[in-house]
Amino acid sequence: MTRTGETAAQRETPPEPAKQQRAPRRPGDLVFSTAARAAGTLILIILAAVAVFLVIEAWPAIELSPAELSSKVSFVEDGDSLLTYVGPLVFGTILAAVIALVIATPVSIGVALFISHYSPRRVAQVFGYIVDLLAAIPSVVYGLWGALWLMPRVAPFFNWLSSTLGFIPLFEGPVATPARTILTAGIVLAVMILPIITAVTREVFLQTPPLHQEAALALGATRWEMVRLAVFPFARSGIVSATMLGLGRALGETMAVAMVLSPGLTYSIFILQAGQHQNIAANIALKFPEANQIGVNVLIFTGLVLFVITLVVNMFARWIVSRRAEFSGAN
């Protein structure tokens, strides 16, 4: 579960004991190893079961012809097929997550760097706990915060953005009032993924070999130059994988998005306008209560798509982490 712990463990491979003597097996060993193995297998089984469930439940929707689909499912427009229905949702999901990443990554790196390299030790510890605490807040609370507190406060900023940078299509008006747009959702998501990115990058920063850092300082580098020359190169792939983990969370977020976004199914890039985007998870939450049987199948299909996307993102992150273990800056 804790990827950071794992990578740390991989890094500090303990020296092999000189001679491998086989200890006598005691019942406790047996029980423990069996229990651990069972738990490990269970994870795989659960994952497989979820995948199988999604495919089976989505199948009736996959089978249906587009014409039948739109006539049977109230929220699929005439002329839409399953893929054209899910397309804008995928776009919205990724757009929201990308906005969140663009905002959260620099901030997270800053926070992590402050904790690992700039703040006094005691402050760093307290600060670390506080950031971790952010991760414990339920997403509904973030949603409420976004809808009730954040939204009225970002509105003037959005107006300014649109009036000064409106020539860039991204910021084209009319600005939604209230600001129930993908940008607001992205900001809320950014706050939500901040702790996970910070936690992982902080760990990676702390792993930078002290020798590298001391060498940089000894050569006359300032602290910033030391960070730039020694810490960042060492942590680069760690930062990427932390970002991917954040992305994974942002992709699947439901409540916060459902509460701050006026949904719409388009491929538009106008992030200040209402009713343009929607993410998959929020769409499921929204449509599920009134959906009929085949409607539920369609929603589950969108869930399957999300499952695949997140799986790919996570595997990508894993791959980077493992690559990092091999070519870590330490050698």
CB 129 within 8 A of CB 142: no
The Cα–Cα gap between 253 and 96 comes to 10
- By beta-carbon proximity to other proteins, the closer residue of 166 and 178 is 178
Looking at the Cβ atoms of 130 and 148, the one nearer to other proteins is 148
- Min dist CB 174 to other proteins, Å, is 7
Phi/psi for 135 (5° steps) reads -70, -20
Tell me which residue of 297, 295, 278, 279 sits closest to 287, measured CA to CA: 295
Compute the least distance from the CB of residue 302 to other proteins, in Å: 9
Please identify, using beta-carbon distances, which residue of 111 and 251 lies nearer to other proteins: 251
Kindly tell me which of 207 and 273 has the beta carbon lying closer to other proteins. Answer: 273
Instruction: Give the span between the Cα atoms of 97 and 46, in whole angstroms.
Output: 26
- For residue 73, the minimal CB distance to other proteins (Å) is 10
Instruction: State which residue, 3 or 212, has the beta carbon closest to other proteins.
Output: 3
User: Between 140 and 168, whose beta carbon lies closer to other proteins?
Assistant: 140
Closest CB 262 distance from other proteins, rounded Å: 5
Q: Give me the least distance between CB of 109 and other proteins, in Å please.
A: 19
Rank residues 30 and 315 by Cβ distance to other proteins and give the closer one: 315
Q: What angle do CA 197, 7, 210 make, to 5 degrees?
A: 85
User: In angstroms, what is the minimal distance from the CB of 303 to other proteins?
Assistant: 5
* Burial tier of 73 (Cβ tally within 10 Å: 0-12, 13-18, 19+): buried
Q: Please report how close the Cβ of residue 263 comes to other proteins at its closest, in angstroms.
A: 5
Tokens encoding 58: 């989505």
SS3 at position 161: helix
Q: For binding to other proteins (CB under 8 A), which residues are involved?
A: 1-3, 47, 50, 54, 74-75, 147-148, 151-152, 174, 176-178, 180, 196, 245, 248-249, 251-255, 258-259, 262-266, 273-276, 280-281, 284-293, 303, 306-307, 310, 314
What count of Cα atoms within 13 Å lies in the side-chain half-sphere of residue 23?
6
Outline where the chain has alpha helix (H).
3-11, 27-63, 66-72, 82-113, 121-134, 139-144, 151-165, 182-206, 210-218, 223-226, 232-252, 255-260, 280-287, 293-326
Q: How far is the CB of 77 from other proteins (least distance, A)?
A: 8
CB-wise, 227 or 284, nearer to other proteins? 284
Cα separation, 2 vs 9, whole angstroms:
11
In angstroms, rounded to a whole number, what is the distance separating the alpha carbons of residues 39 and 30? 14
